[in-house]
């Protein structure tokens, strides 16, 4: 809901701060007072084209700030802002500001965050609909008619959406499989040879590293073999160092009792023997670990060379050869069993397409039934609005298969015929001005505001009518205002009398400067304004009495 509008330096408006409430608000004033300026200002804030002619003469720039109360967390505006990185907390006002320089440059802000005019325009469409000579074409755009009809008829397109997604997913799987089979078929001979070669070689993940490590160990053993053999000869055998140490220890053990200091020498020899035994064991272990079989080393080197050659041939890492073999085998199997697999997928696509058609046909039937009810509801509203010669219809027509979507296989468009015998055509191409606004009002009343913006503005919807028709317009605007904020620019006292709030737009001049102002009327001022609308420049007692009766009614 629009709560505040602040305008600075727009044409004849120097500075204006307005507050708006819920329900039906009316704006009145004499012709040329500046009502269109007010709507142009709001349009600028909502993303309309920035025309430098709106900047007040002599001023460097104009600005308009509009504040909205977004009462619902599921409001379309909240989702749109979130999609563009702007978070709106629950209860936080939405403040839109637009500045326009005299040279034509403009800037836009949403809650003090800079934004594009395109985002502002999209956001404005979720907040306000302006109908009349400043119509934003929101309701008149056929792209939104299908959603409006679905909301009116409570047509659930969820089943159609799910069926459509299942159908498209099956079709994509079929297309991918066909493409894979076609590509694989072209490479049948290559795949067959490659799979056979890799299967015979049987590479394993991690094999390259294991072979390289084993080869390095054997090569190291070959280099150290002679030295290890010489060291072993020094330690082992009857004349080796270990045997000599043991012999020395035995001789010393026989005489150690004759001279006590020799006990320490014997202990040292015993330790040396123990260390020498341990060294001998470790030397034997090292020799065993570094031992190599020339035939085994040759086999390892051959296997490693062939493994790396295959990896280069297929342009993959050696560890990926096993996986490559499995992938190629799967492709080869797909070729060999491709026809059967494609036939199964083709059957799946046909079944899912049929399921979609059935669901979409049920939705189409619901739409046609809802269209008949909507047509009748709109027809009932036309005569009281002096549109009794007009006819309204909702077209539900089939789309080409290439245009089917998750919303079904129908095109929905509202059309009218303004005169008996005249062909039906889109609403915007036939009606204009106040007549167009009255058509929109009839449609809005019939739809009972299922969908659309929270704030509706009707610009001179009562143009060219009066009496009972104006009363009918006022009645319908009042009914709409029970669920929406309605603002109406009117010259009709019957409409003005139905408002919950009343603002007077007036133009004043001091001989040098002309300014447009807006004044919220109290009860007495409101009666005088409605009396002026009834009688003209001279307000009579009879006009005041009639104004009183309209207000009381």
pLDDT tens digit string along 17-73?
Answer: 999 999 999 998 887 777 888 888 998 999 888 888 899 988 999 999 999 998 777
DSSP label at 237? S
Strand locations in 385-524, DSSP E? Answer: 391-398, 410-417, 425-426, 455-459, 485-489, 501-509, 514-520
What pLDDT, on the 0 to 100 scale, is given for residue 68?
A: 93
Tokens of 85: 């990185």
- Find out whether 369 and 361 touch, Cβ atoms under 8 Å: no
What pLDDT, on the 0 to 100 scale, is given for residue 428?
A: 67
Q: Which residue is it, tokens 């294991």?
A: 210
Closest by alpha carbon to 427, among 475, 380, 378? 378
Residues 6+ apart with CB under 8 A from 430: 416, 417, 418
pTM, two decimal places: 0.62
Give domain limits for the chain.
Answer: 188-336
3-state secondary structure 439-463: HHHHHHHHHCCCCCCCEEEEECCCC
What pLDDT, on the 0 to 100 scale, is given for residue 383?
A: 84
What pLDDT, on the 0 to 100 scale, is given for residue 136?
A: 42
Show the DSSP H helices in 128-206 as ranges.
145-153, 158-186, 188-201
Tokens of 434: 């106040």
What pLDDT, on the 0 to 100 scale, is given for residue 395?
A: 94
Q: Which residues of the chain have pLDDT under 50?
A: 134, 136-137
> Any bridge partners for residue 7, and if so which?
16, 64
Would you give the end-to-end CA distance of the chain in angstroms?
27
């Amino acid at each position: 809901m629009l709560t505040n509008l602040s305008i600075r330096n727009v044409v004849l408006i120097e500075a204006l701060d307005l507050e708006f409430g819920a329900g039906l608000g009316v704006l009145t004033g004499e012709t040329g007072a500046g009502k269109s300026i007010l709507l142009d200002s709001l349009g600028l804030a909502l993303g309309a084209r920035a025309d430098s002619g709106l900047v007040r003469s002599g001023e460097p720039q104009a600005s308009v700030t509009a504040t909205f109360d977004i009462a619902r967390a599921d409001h379309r505006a909240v989702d749109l802002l979130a999609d563009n990185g702007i978070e709106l907390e629950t209860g936080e006002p939405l403040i839109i500001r637009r500045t326009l320089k005299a040279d034509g440059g403009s800037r836009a802000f949403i809650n003090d965050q800079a934004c594009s005019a395109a985002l502002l325009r999209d956001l404005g469409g979720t907040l306000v609909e302006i109908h009349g000579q400043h119509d934003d074409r929101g309701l008149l755009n056929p792209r939104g008619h299908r959603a409006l009809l679905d909301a009116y008829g409570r047509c659930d397109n969820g089943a159609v959406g799910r069926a459509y997604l299942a159908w498209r997913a099956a079709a994509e799987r079929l297309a991918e499989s066909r493409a894979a089979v076609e590509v694989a078929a072209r490479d049948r001979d290559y795949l067959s040879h490659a799979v056979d070669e890799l299967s015979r070689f049987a590479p394993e993940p991690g094999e390259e590293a294991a072979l390289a490590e084993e080869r390095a160990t054997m090569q190291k053993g070959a280099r150290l073999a002679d030295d290890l053999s010489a060291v072993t000869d020094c330690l082992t055998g009857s004349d080796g160092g270990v045997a000599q140490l043991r012999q020395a220890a035995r001789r010393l053990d026989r005489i150690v009792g004759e001279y006590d200091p020799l006990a320490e020498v014997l202990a040292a020899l015993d330790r040396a023997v123990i260390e020498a035994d341990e060294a001998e064991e470790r030397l034997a272990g090292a020799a065993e670990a570094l031992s190599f079989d020339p035939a085994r080393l040759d086999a390892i080197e051959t296997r490693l060379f062939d493994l790396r050659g295959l990896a280069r041939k297929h342009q993959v890492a050696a560890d990926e050869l096993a996986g490559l073999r499995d992938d190629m085998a799967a492709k080869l199997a797909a070729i060999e069993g491709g026809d059967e697999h494609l036939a199964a997928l083709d059957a799946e696509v046909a079944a899912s397409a049929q399921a979609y058609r059935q669901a979409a046909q049920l939705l189409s039937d619901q739409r046609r039934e809802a269209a008949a009810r909507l047509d009748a509801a709109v027809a009932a509203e036309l005569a009281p609005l002096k549109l009794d010669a007009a006819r309204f219809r909702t077209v539900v027509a089939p789309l080409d298969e290439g245009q089917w979507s998750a919303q079904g296989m129908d095109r929905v468009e509202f059309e009218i015929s303004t005169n008996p015998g005249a062909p039906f055509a889109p609403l915007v191409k036939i009606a204009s001005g106040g007549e167009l606004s009255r058509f929109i009002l009839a449609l809005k009343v019939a739809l009972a505001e299922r969908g659309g913006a929270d704030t509706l503005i009707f610009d001179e919807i009562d143009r060219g009518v009066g009496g009972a028709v104006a009363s009918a317009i006022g009645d319908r605007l009042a009914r709409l205002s029970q669920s929406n904020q309605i603002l109406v620019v009117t010259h009709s006292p019957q409409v003005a009398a139905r408002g919950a709030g009343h603002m007077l737009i007036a133009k004043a001049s001091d001989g040098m400067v002309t300014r447009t102002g807006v004044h919220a009327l109290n009860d007495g001022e409101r009666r005088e304004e409605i009396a002026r609308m009834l009688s003209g420049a001279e307000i009579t007692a009879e006009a005041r009495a009639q104004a009183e009766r309209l207000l009381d009614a």
